[in-house]
Amino acid sequence: MKFVQSKSLAEYNLSMEQKLKTALQNLQKTHFDAVEKKKSVEEMKEKLDKLSNSRSLDSVCSTLKTLAHEAEKESEKISEDFHKGELDIDEFVKQFCEKRATVHLRKIKEEKLCELLRQQQYNHSVAAPNVYPIGNNTSTGSTQYPHYALLNDSKNYRHSFYS
């Protein structure tokens, strides 16, 4: 009886051999693909981290400030060129208005970004909330400990040991 069971089990195992080999090959291929994708993701993450470091909000804010200052200098140069007679009125108005609009937009963006950064830094620097209970204002007064009515009324709060 045991011999027959062993023989049928061996035949079954042999019949499953091809399915197992195919499944193993699929698993190895999938594993290889997963490893390749993991490497790709890690490389992309490194690139993103490098870009993130070079594009911090502080640096963007200072860059905006610098660009606004440069645009303001350019608008002053346009004004000087007009006063020297190097530009006619139509060209002056066109160039000057465009440059001043650029100056104002950059200043507004820089101020708003700096404000958001200050707000974010303030929110991160706020102290952790007090974890200790604060007193409840009751008719008996205010204490630094919470008020428990049952503890004050000894008739209602008796341990079973005292009964």
pLDDT for the residue 150: 47
pLDDT score of 119? 87
Q: Mean pLDDT over all residues of the chain? A: 82
Residue 65 banded pLDDT, cuts 50, 70, 90: very high
**How many C-beta neighbours within 10 Å does residue 22 have?**
10
Residue carrying the six token digits 């963006």 = 109
pLDDT band at 75 (very low <50, low <70, confident <90, very high): very high
Q: Distance between CA atoms of 114 and 59, rounded to whole angstroms?
A: 11
Cα–Cα distance measured from residue 135 to residue 142, given in angstroms and rounded to the nearest whole number: 6
Q: Quick one: pLDDT band at residue 163, thresholds 50, 70, 90?
A: very low
